[in-house]
Amino acid sequence: MILALAGNQNCGKTTLFNRLTGDNRRAGNFPGVTVEQKSGEIIGSKGVFAVDLPGVYSLTSYTSEETISRDFLLKQKPDGIINVIDATNIERSLYLTLQLIELRIPMVLALNMMDEVRSNNGGIDILHMKEALGIPVVPVSAAKKQGLSELTDKAVETVKKRALPKRLDFCDGAVHRAIHAVAHLIEDHAQRQDIPCRFAATKLVEGDEEMLKALLLDENEADMVEHAAAEMEKETGTDRGAAVIDMRYRFIEELCRKCVVKPEESREYRRSVRLDGVLTHRIWAIPSFLGIMLAVFSLTFGVIGAPLSALTVSGINALSVAVGGALSEYGLNPVIHSLIVDGIFAGVGAVLSFIPIVVTLFFFLSVLEDSGYMARVAYVMDKPLRKIGLSGKSFVPMLMGFGCSVPAIMSTRTLSSERDKKITVLLTPFMSCGAKLPIYALFTAAFFPRRQAFVMAGLYVAGVALGVFSGFVLGKSVFRGTPVPFVLELPNYRFPSAKTVLLLMRDKAKDFVQRAFTVIFIASVAVWFLQSFDTRLNSVADGADSMLAGIGKSVSGLFAPLGFADWRVSTALITGFAAKEAVISTLAVLTDADSLGGTLRFLFTPAAALSFLVFTLLYTPCVAAIAAAKRELGSLKGAVAIMVCQTAFAWGCAFLTYQIGRLL
């Protein structure tokens, strides 16, 4: 049995899904968290599966979220629908409900957040609403796990009885006549295409082009539909889409007048209004954002992350010495001893030592997202992004890019404009992903210890600024056009959920460790092998005579103008294409891992170090991100262009940085 969870953005669908299925998917206080449908078996109901659909406001295929939800409901035919609505904002939420009822699928209405309604002296007449809508209505609170078993039981019972919604007709007057005339006209077409007739008729009256194509109407029938819609427009004095919207909202307003006691303004709402007076202010919004991010970096790389990272380094070094001593005592072959100590421990250990910094940073980012602040950042960024031809919605994938470019690029599928999607895919790699953190942390600690947080924040801001500049150039040249309208729901600020924050920290730590013992492990072994043997597979005493040195020296000349011509540095940048953490593991294997900071100060001047940081910030994303870009762009050529253009752009920016740094 398949139950589809459908509802508006930020109505608590994903939280309810997690409660019902026991899944640990992250439910952020940020609209658009669900990009595509996910399913899971409901706890205590064997064989009953819930499907979490993306949040939508209607079933018109305007956005990718709406297309995903509509296609699932119309084509995959779930056994039932659980329509999750925000009971604190019921008038807006019911607009989607009226469309879902027209699908003729067994359906239950879940009034979520009823605890907030009651706590703010509001109320809903459940029985009256049930009679008016013709579907079961169940009050729940997903966050507090209230009413969930009743909801599951009622949904299963409704499906088993095949109890379809009892009411379909919410219209009157000219809209009523138009919808019923079109319904009679297309009834046989709707049956052949297995689309609910009432739903199809309403969509045609609204002017839905996708529905017109799906029904395969002939020219004469299409003209008759247009005639019915034109008559309706003439009588109502408004356009066809607005006439249908007005019809639905008249019904909703009358329903709410009879059975809803609106809750008073909550403390959360009043608090949000006060905070937004500063955090979304036309002057103070961006300075506030920059100040908050600078504070996050100061805490991450100074107060909290650095001491924890130092403890981790001490532990890894102690373990490495102990293992090395035990292997020597055992009399292990020197080559294998070198592989384990100088290859695996040096490479993997160098990356693992940065786990505290990565987890700390994502703790703060999760707090900001779950509090509702990141939604404000997207809203604030809408205006400057429009100047480069994008909407604030493009900033959502770009924000995700600070975590990892792969899911960020994949999330661009939610953008309704193909033009906006392509530009956003190209810009997302400019956002500094979490895999680059070890590089930044190591180099800033070695060369800029007193200004570490400032340099770190500067790198992140530089990535955003250069991405915006590139977007401006692309929007005015290759991708001319106008951005799509941006609709974003600003949720109330709330105290972050401890579970959500801990889950994100766990996931980031788990992902980091998995990469360390897979990609980084393989890269470390490969680097150790290549730097330990020459082309005849003879062991070398000097790494400069190794195969790896030959590879590194062949490209090191390209980096000489940037201030770092040593073959070990160019080799590290090459391995960084597999995973950015591999840059540090490679340097650790090729130098003295115990005093890596001191070795770097020998290889780099401060100007060259800053140039190296700028290059790693901007050069080609990892191979996984390139693969994701190929999938979303549908073109290998486009993905390769990203790799080549970003590397060339990175070289130019690093060259300027080095030359200016030398002068200063």
**Residues 6 or more apart from 78 whose CB is under 8 A from it?**
2, 3, 4, 51, 72, 105
Q: Which residue has the higher pLDDT, 488 or 458?
A: 458
Q: Is residue 167 part of a domain?
A: no
- 324 shares its domain with 381: yes
Asked if the model's pLDDT at residue 309 lies above 90, the reply is no
Over residues 414-435, mean pLDDT: 81
The pLDDT tens digits for 36-50 are: 567 889 998 899 999
Structural domain that includes position 75? 2-160
Q: Is residue 168 part of a domain?
A: no
Q: Which residues pair with 481 in a beta bridge?
A: none
Asked if the model's pLDDT at residue 262 lies above 70, the reply is yes
Q: Which residue has the higher pLDDT, 312 or 416?
A: 312
The pLDDT tens digits for 173-232 are: 899 999 999 999 999 999 999 999 999 999 999 888 889 888 988 889 999 999 999 999
Asked if the model's pLDDT at residue 553 lies above 80, the reply is yes
- 10 shares its domain with 62: yes
The whole-number pLDDT of residue 105 equals 95
The CATH number given to whatever domain includes residue 183 is 1.10.287.1770
Indicate the range of 14-28, 428-442, 610-624 predicted with least confidence.
Answer: 14-28
Q: Work out whether the CA dihedral 573, 578, 584, 590 comes out positive or negative.
A: negative
The pLDDT tens digits for 504-515 are: 778 777 877 777
Q: What is the mean pLDDT of the chain?
A: 85
- 153 shares its domain with 186: no
Q: Is residue 92 part of a domain?
A: yes
Q: What number of other Cβ atoms are within 10 A of residue 4's Cβ?
A: 26
The whole-number pLDDT of residue 232 equals 93
- 225 shares its domain with 355: no
Q: Is residue 165 part of a domain?
A: no
Q: Per the structure, how many domains does the chain have?
A: 3
The whole-number pLDDT of residue 414 equals 64
Alpha helices, DSSP H, located in 387-518 = 395-400, 405-410, 418-427, 437-447, 452-476, 498-516
Q: Which residue has the higher pLDDT, 551 or 160?
A: 160
- 240 shares its domain with 312: no
- 55 shares its domain with 184: no
Read off the pTM: 0.70
Q: Work out whether the CA dihedral 50, 55, 61, 67 comes out positive or negative.
A: negative
- 471 shares its domain with 602: yes
- 547 shares its domain with 622: yes
User: What confidence category does residue 595 fall into, taking pLDDT thresholds of 50, 70 and 90?
Assistant: low
Q: Which residues pair with 40 in a beta bridge?
A: 50
Indicate the range of 184-198, 402-416, 456-470, 560-574 predicted with least confidence.
Answer: 402-416
Q: Is residue 490 part of a domain?
A: no
Q: Return the C-alpha torsion angle 231, 237, 241, 244, nearest 10.
A: -80
The whole-number pLDDT of residue 252 equals 94
The last residue of one of the domains, among 160, 193, 221, is: 160
Asked if the model's pLDDT at residue 283 lies above 70, the reply is yes
Rounded distance between C-alpha atoms, residue 350 and residue 587, angstroms = 9
- 422 shares its domain with 340: yes
The last residue of one of the domains, among 129, 160, 191, is: 160
In which order are the strands placed within the sheet that holds 107-112?
38-41, 49-52, 2-7, 80-86, 107-112, 137-139
- Tell me the Cα Rg of the chain: 29
- 314 shares its domain with 237: no
Q: Is residue 639 part of a domain?
A: yes
The whole-number pLDDT of residue 60 equals 82
The CATH number given to whatever domain includes residue 133 is 3.40.50.300
**Conformation bin of residue 405: beta by default, left when phi > 0, alpha when psi is -120 to 50:** alpha
Q: Work out whether the CA dihedral 488, 494, 499, 501 comes out positive or negative.
A: positive
Q: Which residue has the higher pLDDT, 169 or 240?
A: 240
User: One-letter amino acid identity for 92?
Assistant: R
- 523 shares its domain with 376: yes
Over residues 244-265, mean pLDDT: 90
The whole-number pLDDT of residue 29 equals 46
The whole-number pLDDT of residue 592 equals 67
Q: Which residue has the higher pLDDT, 347 or 435?
A: 435
The last residue of one of the domains, among 119, 139, 160, is: 160
Asked if the model's pLDDT at residue 25 lies above 60, the reply is no
Indicate the range of 138-142, 252-256, 388-392 predicted with least confidence.
Answer: 388-392
Q: Which residue has the higher pLDDT, 593 or 344?
A: 344
Q: Is residue 70 part of a domain?
A: yes
The pLDDT tens digits for 87-107 are: 988 988 999 999 999 999 999
Q: Which two structure tokens, joined as six digits, stand for 214? A: 């799906």
Percent of the chain's residues with pLDDT above 90: 30
Type and span of the H or E element at 8 = none
- Give the pairing of strands 123-124 and 38-41: unpaired
Q: Which two structure tokens, joined as six digits, stand for 253? A: 């307003």
Q: Which residue has the higher pLDDT, 32 or 158?
A: 158
Q: Which residue has the higher pLDDT, 120 or 592?
A: 120
Rounded distance between C-alpha atoms, residue 363 and residue 360, angstroms = 5
Segments of 222-297 assigned E as strands: 260-261
The whole-number pLDDT of residue 594 equals 59
- 152 shares its domain with 223: no
**C-alpha to C-alpha distances, 120 to 240, 267, 272, 371, 605, nearest whole angstrom:** 38, 9, 16, 21, 62
Q: Is residue 255 part of a domain?
A: yes
